[in-house]
DNA sequence: ACCTGAACACCGTTCAAGT
DNA sequence: ACCTGAACACCGTTCAAGT
């Protein structure tokens, strides 16, 4: 913009881990997991393969960095002020939406274990568990259960979205659920009585709402099992 | 064994989808996800690549078939007799153990959506939800929450196991948890107070027990929210 | 210190040719 | 109908050579 800047021009901007990660996220978002190749990256960054390897050890590290970037953004604004219960919902929903927007992170998150990115999620959820007033001896188990549910639900949702996208461009929620519902209708009625019976509920449900209903189920369990006679929330002041 | 059998000899046994899937599962179990290649398969089956493609469309279909085989086995013996609540636990634990034994299925299960293998899991869990006496309008949401938790928890556990295996051969549970706990101790105390605080609980916990504790949390929530004034279980006779 | 780009090993998939 | 195996296109990674 200003002519006097000392910054390097756009076209020759130095390569960096950040720029590479940013380009990787964009490629993953637009072309899916198979779209992230070093050739596509070198083209987009107008450089050679060796230049990328100077900044990043290998493809696995690049995928981890991309996943971490998405999750850090999703957890960036900690939910403040609201009741602990609503803060749990807010953190969970933030993660759910991030995975929905970047379906490829689901596979990454369940590939990595309690390392790199996972502790960020665990910490965010855990702090809300503590705020709920859960007794300390149940902190780990409660936070784990919530994180596992969140990752599982977000992953299933991402898979559905990704599959629907593969069928056609930019499908809306109705189309996605419709295609799954049609698949269910093709199931054998003898073998799948329950699944067939809830086909209408599948069609009618709202993903985000139902995700939160699952969170509420766990929170109700926490209340019943761990908050019975303790205070519901710690004193606020 | 018997000399009179009319069956073809081992070495020339005809290729089939079943034999190919079986070999794929073995390769995945012993060499991990990257160990399943068409070259390794052709060698193991003493055939050419084209022969495999005659029976299987592509690698994706092969992975789906392998996943389906594992899950079908895991769900083969339906838990009978016990109380609905214990049957939920039994189905869940069967899946948990299957994913632990075949860590590569975790990634597959979250890649596929409500198709092929997933409905089997949904149906098995759903039938127990129905048996619990959950009102019909909550069947879909309740079964979904349970399945999502099961897949999420099994996936996280599989990732931990796989990572530990990568570090050394045949690590026991203590080693696995120890390596994760050490990673947690390296985290910044300011940024990860909760995670650091529960490091000892991580070390001490039992995976399967805690997995079931998560199931119990959800079941307690189901009781609190959906079984309040209804019967706990349907009449048995 | 950082980047270039050709080269290498390996992989999924195809296909003309066999039986 | 089923199998063989060479060939093709593509990918992650390396590395000698440049600046």
Please name the member of B115, B152, B221 whose beta carbon is closest to the beta carbon of A220.
B221
The pLDDT, as a whole number, for residue B99 is: 96
Residue A161: which pLDDT band, with cuts at 50, 70 and 90? Answer: confident
Three-state secondary structure call for residue A229: coil
Q: Which tokens go with B190?
A: 């300011």
Strand D contact nucleotides, protein CB < 7 Å: 2-7, 10-17
Contact B148 A152 (CB under 8 A): yes
Name the residue among A184, A211, A176 with its Cα closest to residue A200.
A184
CB contact under 8 A, A180 and B114: yes
Please name which of A180, A152, A176, A154 lies closest in space to residue A165, comparing C-alpha atoms: A176
Q: Do A122 and B155 touch (CB under 8 A)?
A: no
**pLDDT given for residue A20 in this prediction:** 98
Which among B119, B109, B171 is positioned nearest to B140, based on CA atoms? B119
Q: Tell me the CA–C1' distance in angstroms for A48 and C7.
A: 14
Does the CB of B114 have a partner CB in chain A at under 8 Å? yes
Specify the range with the lowest mean pLDDT, choosing from A3-7, A44-48, A120-124, B61-65.
A3-7
What is the Cα–Cα distance from A111 to A119, expressed in whole angstroms?
14
Place of tokens 């971490």: A68
What average pLDDT score do residues A96-125 get?
A: 90
For residue A165, name the pLDDT band (cuts at 50, 70, 90): confident
Residues of B in contact with A145 (CB under 8 A): 149, 153, 210, 213-214, 217-218
Tell me the two tokens of residue B220.
């307690």
pLDDT at A12: 56
* pLDDT at site B114: 66
Sign of the torsion formed by the C-alpha atoms of A36, B20, A195 and A200 = positive
- For residue B76, give the H/E element and its range: none
pLDDT tops 80 at residue A160: yes
CB pairs under 8 A between A and B: 219
Share of chain A above pLDDT 70, in %: 88
Rg of chain A over CA atoms, in angstroms? 22
Q: Is the CB of A59 under 7 A from strand D?
A: yes
Closest by alpha carbon to B177, among B203, B146, B138, B209? Answer: B203
d(CA A160, CA B112): 8
Look at residues B30, B32, B55 and name the one whose alpha carbon lies nearest to residue B42: B55
Q: B20 CA to C19 C1', in Å?
A: 22
**Residue A49 distance to chain B (closest CA, Å):** 23
Check pLDDT > 70 for residue A138. yes
| For chain A, percent of residues with pLDDT exceeding 90 | 73
**pLDDT beyond 70 at A192:** yes
B162 shares contact with chain A (CB less than 8 Å): yes
pLDDT at A35 over 90: yes
Task: List, as one string, the DSSP characters of B168-193.
Answer: SSS--HHHHHHHHHHHHHTS-TTT-H
* pLDDT at position A133: 96
Which ranges constitute the DSSP H helices of B46-82? 49-55, 59-74
Chain B residues inside the 8 Å CB shell of A198: 126, 139-140, 143
pLDDT in tens for each of the 237 residues of chain B? 333 333 333 445 789 999 999 999 999 999 999 999 999 999 999 999 999 999 999 999 999 999 999 999 999 987 777 899 999 999 999 999 999 999 999 999 987 766 779 999 999 999 999 999 999 999 999 999 999 999 999 999 998 887 777 666 667 778 888 888 898 999 999 999 999 999 999 999 999 999 999 999 999 999 999 997 544 444 443
Looking at the complex, does the CB of residue B166 fall below 8 Å from at least one CB of chain A? no
Handedness of CA B49, B51, B57, B60 (dihedral sign): negative
> Would you give the end-to-end CA distance of chain A in angstroms?
49
| Range of weakest confidence among A2-11, A155-164, B215-224 | A2-11
């Amino acid at each position: 913009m200003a002519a006097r800047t000392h910054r390097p021009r756009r076209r020759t901007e130095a390569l960096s881990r950040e720029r590479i990660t940013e380009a990787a996220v964009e490629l993953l978002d637009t072309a899916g997991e198979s779209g992230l190749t070093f050739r596509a990256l070198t083209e987009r960054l107008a450089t050679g393969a060796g230049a990328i390897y100077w900044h990043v050890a290998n493809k696995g590290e690049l995928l981890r960095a991309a996943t971490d970037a998405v999750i850090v953004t999703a957890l960036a604004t900690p939910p403040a002020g609201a009741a602990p219960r609503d803060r749990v919902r807010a953190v969970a929903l933030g993660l759910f939406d991030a995975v929905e927007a970047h379906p490829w992170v689901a596979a990454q998150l369940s590939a990595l274990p309690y390392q790199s990115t996972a502790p960020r999620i665990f910490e965010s959820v855990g702090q809300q568990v503590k705020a709920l007033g859960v007794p300390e001896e149940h902190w780990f188990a409660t936070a784990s259960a919530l994180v596992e549910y969140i990752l599982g639900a977000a992953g299933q949702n991402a898979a559905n979205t990704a599959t629907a996208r593969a069928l056609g461009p930019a499908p809306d929620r109705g189309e996605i659920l419709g295609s799954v519902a049609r698949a269910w209708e093709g199931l054998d009625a003898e073998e799948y009585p329950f699944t067939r019976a809830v086909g209408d509920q599948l069609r009618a449900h709202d993903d985000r709402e139902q995700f939160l209903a699952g969170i509420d189920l766990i929170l109700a369990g926490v209340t019943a099992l761990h908050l019975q006679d303790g205070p519901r929330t710690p004193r606020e002041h």
